[in-house]
Amino acid sequence: MGRTILHVDCNCFYASVELLHHPELRGKPVAVGGDPEARHGIVLTASYEAKHRGVKTGMALWQAKQACPEVIFLPPRMDLYLRFSRMANEIYAQYTDLVEPFGIDENWLDVTASAGIKGDGMTVAREISDRVKRELGITVSIGVSFNKILAKLGSDYKKPDAITGMREWEFREKAWPLPASDLLYVGRSTTAKLYKLGILTIGDLANAPEELLHAHLGKMGSILWVFANGYDDSPVKAENVHAPIKSIGNSTTTPRDLENDQDVKIVLYLLAESVGRRLRENGFRCRVVEVSVRDNELYCFTRQHKLDYATNATGEIAEEAYRIFLENYDWTKPIRSVGVRGSDLVNDNYWEQLDLFSSVERRERLRKMDAALDDIRRRFGFFAVQRGLMHCDKGLAGLDAREEHTVHPHGYFG
């Protein structure tokens, strides 16, 4: 019996969620991203009304404004989008425990084992589509296939609010006439190389000699040949292991140049407060801490270190970030900006073996302290409670790091 794989893609996800909270903007061109007041940053997602007027994901806000003067910009609210992502995953989990995220708004589902109970792939897809629309108020496009690559191609085939089959007996008819650039991991550079070889469509790619592709594209050429021919058999990974995003991070340009270790420590702790709280709010822990530094002549570098144990404790993140900084900066020049990121994320129920020398009691105290601080700050604001370190420099301690953060999605080979 063959596999039944779905790829569920939430349509214009950020914009769709925002329109639920701004019903007065429905039918108008809306773009989410950047800083609407300062007019800098890029478009993360645009509504279909904005897309039809030329607004594209990745555009600078000023470019989007040129393409569509009436576009309405909204600032991103990642915590809100993560909450909707979790609610969508709760729906998917009622059909299978094999749910693999490909970013915050996309998931693969292996529903092979539930066919006898829930029906075939198309039936399950229609039910999921109806439930997401009814329960969450947003729409999804779903691809139904026998492998992950073609299922994703199916979800991209027709949008919004569509279900497309890419099964064994139909994928050649539907997929092969499409441009090669529609295939996962065929970007602009690869498209140009394929064009020089006379390969324009997915069908051309499938029918090209694998040796030719490997000679010009290396290992990726063979991988793309496998994708185009429908030979990919990679499994859908079980849910509740990996987070739907790769990392959560914060960075800030400080109100004055940082001139000593204590200055940096203050800012790192502020940033770690925000990173740790976001991890906890969204049920994640990080296994890697990363620090980025830019000096006042704009030279920058990034360093990271893998932790012994996954954590979302503010103190552990801050201590590790400060240790990384001390090992890697010699104070040749003052510092203009600093960033902290937690990456290699896992869900909160991820288990790991502790060693004999780790202090479970200390980590439990940190967990309870962070939970208490989170509760106080939710009720009375971020500055209601501060660490003693912050009183060393009220100017630096006044930064509200929580207002700036970034998230990074998963890659297919991650």
Angle, alpha carbons 102-286-16 (nearest 5°): 40
Largest CA distance in the chain: 69
At CA 120, angle to CA 115 and CA 121, rounded to 5? 105
Q: Is the dihedral of CA 198, 204, 206, 207 positive or negative?
A: negative
Positions marked catalytic: 106
Q: Which long-range contacts (CB under 8 A, 24 or more apart) does 53-56 make?
A: 53/29, 55/29, 55/31
- Residues in contact with 53: Cβ distance below 8 Å, sequence separation at least 6, in sequence order: 29, 67, 68, 70, 71
Please tell me whether residue 287 adopts helix, strand or coil conformation. Answer: strand
**Cα–Cα distance measured from residue 73 to residue 36, given in angstroms and rounded to the nearest whole number:** 6
d(CA 295, CA 400): 21
CA 369 to chain centre: 28
Q: How far apart are CA 199 and CA 193, in angstroms?
A: 9
Q: What tokens does 81 get?
A: 């989008």
